[in-house]
A = this chain, B = another copy of it.
Amino acid sequence: VTEPLVGILGGMGPAATAAFYAKLVARTPATRDQDHLRVAIWADPTVPDRVAALLDGSTDPYPLLLAGTRHLQSLGATVAAMPCHTAHAYLPRLVSDTGMPFIDMVAETARVLRQRDLRHVALLATRGMLGSGIYQERLRDFDIVVPDERGQRSVDRAIAAVKQGELAEGGRQLSAALPDVPLTVLACTELPLAAAHLSSPPGELLDPTDLLADALIAACR
């Protein structure tokens, strides 16, 4: 029997990867170190900009995503996760090229949302993620609310602030972007870090990295 080894393809961004690993640890039932999952993290923050790649093709993150997946494979990862929504645009190609069993965070989010009695779902994400249409396709049973141009600028600024380590500023920008909808999906891994600095969000905030962590833990049982 192969002992499970979680592979995390991270660094996009690095603070989000650190927070994701902390979340995976915190959500694992454990009373001592030895109860926790074995984890290998490949965090290469030099992966070229995913948003520019999807919007105008001026960058290509794929070669480094592939290299990182190969690294996790060489260590023996039995299941993998990529705590970056925008990079999920490359997930089918990565899985096809490497055979690595990745848990798909977008599919996991759609699966959990379908169990809820909801019609409207707000989606906050990068312009690249929204442009790729991946979430909209997965959530086609819902009425998807996305920010207007002014709100999207606040989302962009919230993400950039977190990437610069300015979490409180990220919270202020996110606050300006939140629509008045019962449930908002924080579909960029920087946004939950900004959300921790919100005082009173108007509705429920769904953090897909919670679902990704729980799916990894379940996969390793």
Contacts and interface: CB of A to CB of B under 8 A. Distances in A.
Nearest to A23: B18
Interface in A196-221: none
Nearest to A6: B43
A45 B164 CA distance: 31
A40 B38 contact: no
Contact of A46 (B17, B18, B34, B41): B34
A21 interface: yes
A4 to B, nearest CB: 11
A32 B19 CA distance: 17
A164 B164 CA distance: 31
Interface residues of A, number: 40
A146 interface: no
B18 A25 contact: yes
Interface of A: 3, 11-15, 17-19, 21-22, 25-26, 30-49, 71, 74-75, 160, 163-165
Given A15-B26, A26-B165, 4 more contacts: A31-B163, A39-B41, A42-B75, A75-B75
15 contacts: A3-B46, A11-B38, A14-B36, A14-B37, A14-B39, A19-B22, A21-B43, A31-B163, A32-B164, A34-B48, A38-B46, A40-B40, A40-B41, A40-B43, A74-B74
